[in-house]
Structure 1
């Protein structure tokens, strides 16, 4: 038996397979009908939609066989994905690559095999639509043409399936956005309106201390509204594909200082102690707008979850050809149950130390923005005195 070589672009091929989000999912009628049609047209007892994973071939749809998968090293389809057209084995017993293959010597007793590559929209073969029989056979030109056409229809169905899944996720996210807008925006706006009305009616009778308290309340509520509206705007642009990424060499120092200046009032309201160690010589490959959004969101979260007179520490370091922006706080930390999915989806957010509402958009957005720059956002799970988050970006300097 001769196992197939790996595809020349194996890493990209696997990434493309995973993009379809189809491995280990339930049977689906639209794909099963294509498999049945392939079997009928080619006159074979077995037909499969086979997806070639790292170490297995997994069957999304199957006719005439019960096994859900087989090892990749013995898979005929591992050979087929290396071809541009239908890969055909008229008699496996007479082919040195397959004569002693366990799938030939034992069940399902393969003698004939023909597989049309399932080529994704980016040109990567993720598997095959294959037909198999227990007797030698050869497809005619019309059968080969039909198998190729059906393979393209399989890809069309997988693309449609993925599109529908994305739409469902967007609908779910939109529902959450509407909930945020109706709940989280209403509270600070009510605070602003209430305090503004009181100032309008009673400004002449209030003492300076009370006036200062009300001004603080209006400022705090306004900052909440600004942060939330900014996150919703950024999220909406990202969902619509309107976020443009322009990565270039830049120091993170001015971005951090600009954000610290912008958030000065937020720090003052909670009397937080802000310290930073920012190396101006460290240069990252980054997009300025996306990186500022990440820095602002991470700082806003640190403020939200750190109690009055707490500490927030910011630093930048260069390590192993990467640049890291690290923000550490002495707040209440992040619950264990949401740590693993913190930057992937909109997750339920806790209230802050002064009852600040949470909407779960910021960190999800930050994780996506980091990935768009070939970077990564991570939580230091070993830090127990609050939260420690690390933004890693490629360094602009050759090591």
Structure 2
């Protein structure tokens, strides 16, 4: 049995864009937010407290107290209704509410009754999720306790935005390191040329009586060598640091991305009885690339495919990197055996329009998931292709450019030396 279409925030597209801009890995935040859920439960006097971030398809529980849960379909959670409330949503008896009385967490063994949710409101006014407290017994909260929960909700948003700032600073730092590498690279050519020229003059210098000039050139030669060694040291040290830290801090490769996607979306596949497979390209699977928005892009495509694929169907994800001289092309595919789409709907998606349709098991549509993907791909100067026919499944293809530094230093120095000595 499926309830009526829930309310959708008037600013839904802006809301999910702002959530995606945080660029979060929903499975890695429990330790950072656990104490806030414990505090919320203590303040409310409830057994359960959850922090839920809600995208187009899924309610992601990034931290929990009293209930081990990581995700639920958006249509199943009470918190989706909190998104459209200005201050709070309080339901004193879930079993007496037609929207929730048949949900498993109400009618089943868990037997939840009381719910109070506080929207996680950003500075721009968008509600990206909810801090909620739940219990098996009705526990109306005093205005003072509600205000304390609002303070905790504000701290949650502050921390999320702090993480975004940290990621931005990391990207800036990496750009600074890249600039340093380029500076070191740029000085190698002229310094190498000076050394080569000084060497030639030194070789020919025994034929002249200009001892002072030769002595001066010898000093230049030694100094040039020292500078070149320093440049080499900067390059080798910073490259080692960059390669060691960047893959861990702000990059994926195909193997790490595959592991993350399996952890996040296998539960959805198991819940619906869908075969979920992710493949990598063995020749390029360890090449690093930026994490930037990839979980949001591929994750939304996976959720969409699972929504429109019937029980017993299959969703396949392909990860690949096409290596080029100046930039790599990230190539991702998400293919399903679902109900497919007519040409006009494909065109609407490629034009960035939201199209809301219920899934094969009655999953409710919110209409913005694929529009968000198109927006994110465009923001990364990428391309999105869709191949689909009704009753013949759908293939989504994403192409994203990844510029890379072409620091072929030895070749550059050799070329400069050849020019000077020819």
Q: TM-score, normalised by structure 1?
A: 0.50
* Higher relative contact order, structure no. (Cα contacts within 8 Å, ≥ 6 residues apart): 2
Pick the structure with more helix per residue: 2
Q: TM-score, normalised by structure 2?
A: 0.47
